[in-house]
Amino acid sequence: MDFLELASVLLLVLCLLLGTGVWVGLSLIGVGIIGMLLFTDRPIGSAMFSTLWSSSTSWTLTALPLFIWMGELLYRTRLSESLFKGLSPWLGWLPGRLVHTNIIGCTLFAAVSGSSAATLTTVGKMSMPELSRRGYPDFMTVGTLAGASTLGLMIPPSLTMIVYGVITNQSIPKLFMAGILPGLVLAGLFMGYVIAWDLICKPTLDREPPMPLRQRLHESRLLIPVGLLILVVIGSMYSGLATATEAAALGVIGALVLAAIQRSLTVEALVSSLLGTVKTSCMIALILAGASFLTLSMGYIGLPRGLAEWVGTLNLSPIMLLLALMVVYIVLGCFLDGISAVVLTMAVVAPMLQDAGIDLLWFGIFVLVMVEMAQITPPVGFNLFVMKSLTNHDLGFIARAALPMFLLMVLMALLLIVFPELATLLPSYMNEASI
């Protein structure tokens, strides 16, 4: 049996397991066991034990639950309300007006959350009632929220970046820095879409009452807590004063202080944040453990090497390889969440990229754009379901509203290919002590 037949058999087994509702992490372990049973004579028990243990006890992973906890704490504060009040006085003059609060609010909250679901829920609960009351069309409100909330995966701290860094052995602080410029460019593309919509469709939007400069500055004080928290988390890593784990710990302390100042740090909120952190962390840890064992199993079978050699025989240029991978990830995004797509593919994709001379640090940002697309790609786009829980619209309406944002993400991926410096510039200036 050649490697293509092997890959087809294992892929079929994985689809059957996932289709019957088996958890992703357990499905990965199951495919690894079946692969080793059928195609190798190596002992499974010792290999599984050592792989699951080593993947679950990596020091790099300690940053993951801390960033998740920080996001859970902030989700339970009045930070989103403060964001809206601080931003809205400055956006009344832009075409599209307060629709931009969705994008800028998601961008700022992404910089202290790391989760697209938390970003969407927090900003959405704040902005949707306000924009609806002011007469803004649901199509734009829903679409911009669903799309802009994916910035939680790109702008650091990003949980998916941590997972990618662990799998590919890349510096997490460098990945964090690499995501800043592309994240801001993507936010700018989203805002450009809103401006173009306003100029072309000329909707009737309520004008915001004029506000003196002094009052605008007074309202902007509400953005100070967000700015300080971003400065503490990102600045400490960029300057080399803290590693990713230490920065995450500082972020948790900052979130606790912010919640205490806002008097939202109740016992119930603290317990809920801890439970949410444990659930999310365990889910990701199980997926990573399963992916590690599946990677080991495929290595014993020789599948990644065979696929890499096969792709090499196609003589694809690096750009053609990236375009082909873009199509693969878009298709995977229709059926898998982002983290699962990353951990499922990197064992096979990484050797191809290295043979083609493609920087894995840069590719981490490229694949994050693909993961962002998966969040709003039917039928299993996670952000579509989160948005449905916040509104009365059906999934079809939400998917259509988010389609322009999806196309802008495709444009962002192409921009990364044409201008790779977008992802590599900031990491090149990083202090080595922070890596």
* Whether the Cβ atoms of residue 73 and residue 168 lie closer than 8 Å to each other: no
Q: Average of pLDDT values for 259-275?
A: 86
Question: Is it the case that residue 35 has pLDDT exceeding 70?
Answer: yes
DSSP 3-state of 342: helix
The band of 304, judged by pLDDT with boundaries at 50, 70 and 90, is low
Percent with pLDDT over 90 in the chain: 18
Q: Which residue has the higher pLDDT, 144 or 65?
A: 144
Give the closest residue to 343 by CA, choosing from 77, 65, 31.
Answer: 31
List, for residues 235-260, the tens digit of each pLDDT value: 887 777 887 788 888 888 988 888 88
Question: Is it the case that residue 118 has pLDDT exceeding 60?
Answer: yes
In this prediction, residue 167 carries a pLDDT of: 85
- Ordered by start, the domain boundaries in the chain are 3-434
Q: CA-CA distance, 104 to 372, in Å (whole number)? A: 17
Give the closest residue to 413 by CA, choosing from 304, 295, 316, 333.
Answer: 333
Give the closest residue to 154 by CA, choosing from 350, 331, 373.
Answer: 373
Dihedral class, residue 393 (left if φ above 0, else alpha if ψ from -120 to 50, else beta)? beta
In this prediction, residue 312 carries a pLDDT of: 65
Low-confidence winner among 49-53, 178-182, 202-206 (lowest mean pLDDT): 202-206
List, for residues 341-397, the tens digit of each pLDDT value: 787 788 778 888 888 889 999 999 999 998 888 888 876 677 887 788 778 888 889
Q: CA-CA distance, 416 to 370, in Å (whole number)? A: 12
Q: CA-CA distance, 322 to 307, in Å (whole number)? A: 15
Residue type present at position 280: T
The DSSP letter of residue 314 is T
In this prediction, residue 406 carries a pLDDT of: 94
In this prediction, residue 206 carries a pLDDT of: 62
Q: CA-CA distance, 186 to 408, in Å (whole number)? A: 8
Number of continuous H segments (helices) and E segments (strands) in the chain? 23, 0
Residue 136 CA to chain centroid, in angstroms?
A: 27
Q: What sign has the CA pseudo-torsion 81, 86, 90, 94?
A: negative
In this prediction, residue 387 carries a pLDDT of: 83
Six token digits for residue 99 = 């629709």
Could you count the other beta carbons within 10 Å of the beta carbon of residue 329? Answer: 24
List, for residues 74-92, the tens digit of each pLDDT value: 777 777 667 777 777 777 7
Q: Which pTM was predicted?
A: 0.76
Q: CA-CA distance, 120 to 126, in Å (whole number)? A: 10
Could you count the other beta carbons within 10 Å of the beta carbon of residue 389? Answer: 9
The band of 2, judged by pLDDT with boundaries at 50, 70 and 90, is low
Cα distances from 212 to residues 90, 178, 206, 209, 273, in angstroms, run 11, 38, 18, 10, 39
Question: Is it the case that residue 228 has pLDDT exceeding 80?
Answer: yes
Could you count the other beta carbons within 10 Å of the beta carbon of residue 266? Answer: 11
CB-facing half-sphere around the CA of 149: CA atoms within 13 A: 29
Residue type present at position 112: V
* Whether the Cβ atoms of residue 109 and residue 150 lie closer than 8 Å to each other: no
Q: Average of pLDDT values for 55-78?
A: 76
Question: Is it the case that residue 314 has pLDDT exceeding 80?
Answer: no
DSSP 3-state of 63: helix
Six token digits for residue 48 = 């599984």
In this prediction, residue 433 carries a pLDDT of: 44
Question: Is it the case that residue 95 has pLDDT exceeding 90?
Answer: no
Six token digits for residue 326 = 């873009």
Cα distances from 132 to residues 99, 139, 206, 323, 397, in angstroms, run 11, 11, 11, 39, 16
Question: Is it the case that residue 305 has pLDDT exceeding 50?
Answer: yes
Q: Which residue has the higher pLDDT, 101 or 196?
A: 196
pLDDT, mean over the chain? 82
Cα distances from 207 to residues 93, 110, 129, 383, in angstroms, run 9, 28, 17, 30
In this prediction, residue 421 carries a pLDDT of: 94
Question: Is it the case that residue 404 has pLDDT exceeding 60?
Answer: yes
CA angle 402, 406, 412 (to 5 degrees): 145
The band of 216, judged by pLDDT with boundaries at 50, 70 and 90, is confident
